[in-house]
A = this chain, B = another copy of it.
Amino acid sequence: MTQPRHWDAIGILLSTAALLPITALLRNTSALAQDAGSQLASWNDGPAKQAIINFVRATTDSSGPKFVPPEKRVATFDQDGTLWVEHLIYTQVVYCLERVSAVVAQKPELKNRKPFRTVLSGNREAMAKLSLRDLEEILFATLTGMPVEVFDAEAKKWIETAKHPRWKRPYTELTYQPMLEVLQYMRANGYRTYIVTGGGQDFVRVYSQQVYGIPPEQVVGTATGTKFGYDKDGKPFLTKDPKLLLNDNNAGKPEGIHLEIGRRPHATFGNSTGDRQMLEYTAAGDGARLMMLVLHDDAQREYAYGPAQGLPDTKVGTFTQALYDEAKKDGWTVISMKNDWKRIFAFE
């Protein structure tokens, strides 16, 4: 499949390359209940696993110098490429492209207009050439303009049935088992786990509790505004407004953390240049901090992309050599999917 050019750049309101096969029901892959002995069971012994354990032990040891009081135990996790698969393209982009036909059915005047016509054609060559402005138009048309409850219901229905073309499984099963274990391990040690995603805040909140054990109020993401109004019976409701409030990617990640959490994280996990500022912001705090980056170096079990370390270049979840070098220089830990993860998915 041809990689759409600009989809990484648009701040990822988003999610789809499109026209991928669909069906099946959502299975609950939520955080595992584990006894102490099996914590981080899907991790191979090595520096990455050890960094996590050392950090948690040090920050929960009330007699030690690195103790972090429970109220300050905030850990933030990027989603796409960090908690679940982001290739071929962000899941939410798939959703948006697949919603186009429903949007056009409601607004037939869009049918012959360019970006919509192109998506409806199914011509992937043409779709790959859509401009940034075209893509934004698709995102706003499919993610805004409806009451929030209508959006929630549409997104929920989709995520319960849509499947990834490679694994033929729901996207919600394509979460990384080692990362689900980290979420659970950190929560068991008093950390509040947050998702801080370039993806749409409302989209991720639809499934975050079920998939990650993370409640909606602990999801920070790219957000448009809403507009309060009344229906014909005088009942108030909120409509999703096509006005970008927070572009929660790159510098927007620490800005979003300040806006919605108001505390600097003590631990942060990411996988791409969109997470760089979040890691820098985390690292700049006093005391013990944990900064980790997932490197997708496992083409066989998942995907291989960088371009760091000579891995294939990509527009989706770019991990540059500069980011890799910054990580090494500043003592952040790079997780090698190939070497550090005993298994990738729960279903393996």
Which residues does A use to contact B, with CB under 8 Å?
A: 71, 74, 148, 201-202, 205, 209, 215-217, 219, 223, 225-228, 235-238, 245-246, 251, 254-255, 258-263, 277, 280-281, 284
Asked if A238 and B254 make an inter-chain contact with CB atoms under 8 angstroms apart, the answer reads: yes
> CA A261 – CA B216 in complex, angstroms?
7
Q: Are A259 and B235 in contact (CB under 8 A)?
A: no
With A and B bound together, what is the CA distance between A219 and B258 in angstroms?
12
Contact status A284-B235, CB under 8 Å: yes
Is the beta-carbon distance between A205 and B281 smaller than 8 angstroms? no
Question: How close is A252's CB to chain B, nearest CB, in angstroms?
Answer: 8
A-B contact pairs, 25 of them (CB 8 A): A71-B215, A74-B217, A148-B258, A201-B259, A202-B262, A205-B262, A216-B262, A216-B263, A217-B260, A217-B261, A217-B262, A217-B263, A219-B262, A225-B259, A226-B259, A227-B251, A228-B255, A228-B281, A235-B284, A236-B284, A238-B254, A238-B255, A245-B245, A259-B260, A260-B260
- Cα distance, A238 to B219, chains bound together (Å): 21
Are A259 and B228 interface neighbours, CB within 8 A? no
**A236 adjacent to B281 (CB under 8 Å):** yes
Stoichiometry, as copies per complex, reads 2
In angstroms, Cα B280 to Cα A260, docked, is 23
A236 / chain B contacts, CB cutoff of 8 Å: 254, 277, 280-281, 284
Q: How far is the CA of A227 from the CA of B247 in the complex (A)?
A: 12
* Residues of chain B within 8 A of A261, CB atoms compared: 216-217
Q: Is the CB of A226 within 8 A of B71?
A: no
Nearest B residue to A148 by beta-carbon distance? B258
Contacting residues, chain B, for A216 (C-beta < 8 A): 261-263
CB distance from A229 to the nearest CB of B (A): 8
Q: Which residues of B contact A246 (CB under 8 A)?
A: 245
Q: What's the minimum C-beta distance from A331 to chain B, rounded to whole angstroms?
A: 15
| 18 more CB-based (< 8 A) A-B contacts, given A225-B259, A236-B254, A236-B281 | A71-B209, A71-B215, A74-B217, A201-B259, A216-B262, A216-B263, A223-B259, A226-B258, A228-B254, A228-B255, A228-B277, A235-B284, A236-B277, A236-B280, A237-B284, A238-B281, A245-B245, A259-B260
A102 CB to nearest chain B CB (Å): 23
Which residues does chain B contribute within 8 Å of A281, judged by CB atoms? Answer: 228, 236, 238
Closest Cβ of chain B: how far from A133's Cβ, in Å?
A: 23
Determine the chain B residues whose CB is within 8 A of the CB of A228 once the complex forms.
251, 254-255, 277, 281
Q: Which chain B residue shows the least CB distance to A224?
A: B259
- A256 (CB) vs chain B CBs: closest residue: B226
Is A225 in contact with B255, judged by CB distance below 8 angstroms? yes
Most B CB within 10 A of own CB, among A202, A235, A258, A263: A258
Instruction: State the CA gap A297–B201 with chains docked (Å).
Output: 42
CB neighbours (8 Å) of A148 from chain B are: 258
| Distance in angstroms between the alpha carbons of A251 and B225 in the assembled complex | 12
When chains A and B are docked, how far (Å) is the Cα of A216 from the Cα of B215?
17
Given the complex, which residues of B lie within 8 Å of A205, measured CB to CB? 262
Report Cα–Cα, A240/B160, bound state, in Å.
Answer: 40
